[in-house]
Chains A and B, each alone.
Chain A
């Protein structure tokens, strides 16, 4: 039951883009076409889940026992950067077609604050679902949380890319062209997602 609540909460109620404002830069950058948006979502999904598992273990078995939790920020970002680099090298070797699809997005992901944001959230924040007492996530829950969050990222990204493809053909006033109209559209989408609040 708790896993189900984590999934619903992470995808809809606390959508990472529309409610938590993480990973906005790539969201606005690559969402003008649906095909690039799906590619980016796939790459983000993969990296967020992997990075969260690795940084969770690093935190639990290295930083906490040694009393070095103040090094979280610096060690997590280095782990993420190394991980992205490694994923890129491995993908290139074992699955050139997947590398073709995700390749150009991978270097961008290091500076996607959604990755670092989720990694820090799962090791610092207390979660409370379905009336249970607030507690830290265990490894399984953290993994599910990371996966669901990144699916929520993909959902918002693909919905927005669909809207933006339609927007491209509209006659928008000059001062609104480009980003302003995109931001206003996201605002209205966020208003719609606000309707999910309170269900978990």
Chain B
């Protein structure tokens, strides 16, 4: 029970999007709809959990000077695994997310957790941390995607409930920045611990 907080921390206290402000590029680029946001979040979580586990296992044996290249190689390996799996089983999602799947390698969340958590903690805790931060990231992306989808095309998770075209700008680039900005304001005001 005492380890429960590793998972819940990822949602509010260490929320990767609204508190740590990491991994902004996929957050802005792939949240054109709630489903896309959800898929991107899950893809990142996959890499995060596996790389956290492996890095926590090898960290004691890696010389300090070469640790960053080693971590990046581990992360890049799991990203390649993910790319091959997605090409095989979810080709539609692989097409939509496109460039941002290989770019998980340079997502600061993954390297940030490797450097900030996994190399100092045990395997179990690192796996839980990966799940927690991954879920937090997925939740934030889904919420941003949902808001943009409702405003931009009048639907939620593909279910259209507002007739008409919606405000197209919210599906395009400017909407991403505006929605994230205003959601961050709400997060600061109501959820963040002072």
Q: Do A and B bind each other?
A: yes
Give the interface of A toward B (CB within 8 A). 18-25, 28, 70-74, 77-78, 81, 110-113, 116-117, 120-121, 124, 175-176, 179-184, 186-188, 190-191, 193-194
B73 A78 Cβ-Cβ under 8 A:
yes
Known contacts A117-B103, A181-B181; 15 additional CB pairs below 8 A are A20-B29, A23-B25, A25-B25, A73-B79, A77-B72, A77-B106, A78-B76, A81-B69, A116-B105, A120-B102, A175-B185, A183-B184, A184-B178, A190-B177, A194-B173
List, in ascending order, chain B residues with CB within 8 A of A194's CB: 169, 172-174
List, in ascending order, chain A residues with CB within 8 A of B111's CB: 111
Least CB separation from A192: chain B residue: B174
List, sorted by A's number, 16 A–B pairs whose CB atoms are closer than 8 Å.
Answer: A22-B103, A24-B24, A25-B22, A25-B24, A28-B21, A71-B80, A73-B80, A77-B72, A77-B76, A116-B103, A117-B103, A181-B181, A183-B181, A187-B174, A187-B175, A188-B178
List, in ascending order, chain A residues with CB within 8 A of B73's CB: 74, 78
List, in ascending order, chain B residues with CB within 8 A of A186's CB: 177, 181
Bound-complex Cα distance A70 to B81 (A): 10
Least CB separation from B24: chain A residue: A24
* B92 at interface, CB cutoff 8 A: no
List, in ascending order, chain B residues with CB within 8 A of A110's CB: 72, 106
Least Cβ distance of B42 to chain A in Å?
18
Closest 3 CB pairs of A and B: A187-B177, A183-B181, A187-B178
B106 A113 Cβ-Cβ under 8 A:
yes
Give residues 12-31 of B contacting A (CB, 8 Å): 21-26, 28-29
List, in ascending order, chain A residues with CB within 8 A of B76's CB: 73-74, 77-78
B80 A21 Cβ-Cβ under 8 A:
no
B102 A184 Cβ-Cβ under 8 A:
no
List, in ascending order, chain B residues with CB within 8 A of A77's CB: 72, 76, 105-106
Bound-complex Cα distance A70 to B101 (A): 13
